A and B are shown apart, each in its own frame.
Chain A
Amino acid sequence: MVTLNDVYIIGAGETKFGELWDKSLRELAVEAGLKAVEDAGVYTKDIDILYGSNTLGAGISYQNDIGSLISDFSGIAADHIPALRVEASTASGAAAIREAYLSIRSGEYNVAMIGGVEKLTDIYGSEILDKTSTLLDSEWEAFFGATPAAVAALTARKYMKDFNVSKEVLARISVNDHENASKNPDAQFRNRISVETALNSLPVAEPLNIMDCSPIGDGAAALLLASEEFVKKNKIDGVRIIASSIAQDFLALHSRESIYRLDSTVIAARKALEKAGIRNDQIGMVELHNSYSIYGLIALEDLGFAEKGKAKDLVEADIKLDGRIPVNPSGGLKAKGNPFGATGVGQAVEAYLQFKNRAGERQIKGLEYAMLHNMGGSGSTSIVHILGGA
Chain B
Amino acid sequence: MGELSRIWRESDHRYRLVAHECGNCKRIFFPPRDVCPICHRDSIGKMREVELSGKGTISSFTVVHDSPRAFKRQRPYVLALIDLDEGPTITAQIVDTPLDQIEIGKRVHSVFRRIHEDGPGGIIQYGYKFAVDLS
A contacts, CB < 8 Å to B: 126-127, 129-130, 133, 137, 139-147, 149-151, 153-158, 161, 202-208, 250, 252-255, 259
The answer on a CB contact under 8 Å between B68 and A140 is: no
The answer on a CB contact under 8 Å between B66 and A154 is: no
Q: Mark B73-109, 1 if CB is under 8 A from A, else 0.
A: 0100101110000001111110000000000100000
Bound together, the chains give a CA A143 to CA B72 distance in angstroms of: 13
The answer on a CB contact under 8 Å between A205 and B81 is: no
Enumerate chain A residues within 8 angstroms of B116, measured Cβ to Cβ.
Answer: 145
The answer on a CB contact under 8 Å between B77 and A145 is: yes
Bound together, the chains give a CA A126 to CA B129 distance in angstroms of: 23
Bound together, the chains give a CA A136 to CA B12 distance in angstroms of: 22
* Among B61, B88, B127, contact of A143 (Cβ-Cβ < 8 Å): B127
Enumerate chain A residues within 8 angstroms of B44, measured Cβ to Cβ.
Answer: none
The answer on a CB contact under 8 Å between A206 and B65 is: yes
The answer on a CB contact under 8 Å between B67 and A129 is: yes
Given contacts A126-B69, A143-B1, contact A153 B81 (CB under 8 A): no
Bound together, the chains give a CA A140 to CA B82 distance in angstroms of: 13
Whole-angstrom distance between the Cβ of A138 and the nearest chain B Cβ: 8
Chain B contact surface mostly: strand
The answer on a CB contact under 8 Å between B31 and A129 is: no
Bound together, the chains give a CA A145 to CA B61 distance in angstroms of: 12
Bound together, the chains give a CA A269 to CA B59 distance in angstroms of: 28
Bound together, the chains give a CA A161 to CA B72 distance in angstroms of: 29
* Among B59, B62, B65, B91, contact of A144 (Cβ-Cβ < 8 Å): B91
The answer on a CB contact under 8 Å between B64 and A150 is: yes
Can you name 26 A-B pairs with beta carbons within 8 Å?
A126-B66, A129-B69, A130-B68, A133-B68, A139-B31, A142-B68, A143-B115, A144-B92, A144-B129, A145-B71, A145-B77, A145-B79, A145-B115, A145-B116, A147-B66, A149-B64, A150-B62, A154-B79, A157-B61, A205-B63, A205-B64, A206-B65, A207-B62, A255-B89, A259-B59, A259-B60
The answer on a CB contact under 8 Å between A126 and B68 is: yes
Bound together, the chains give a CA A139 to CA B93 distance in angstroms of: 14
The answer on a CB contact under 8 Å between B63 and A206 is: yes
Nearest-neighbor residue (CB-CB) of B82 within chain A:
A254
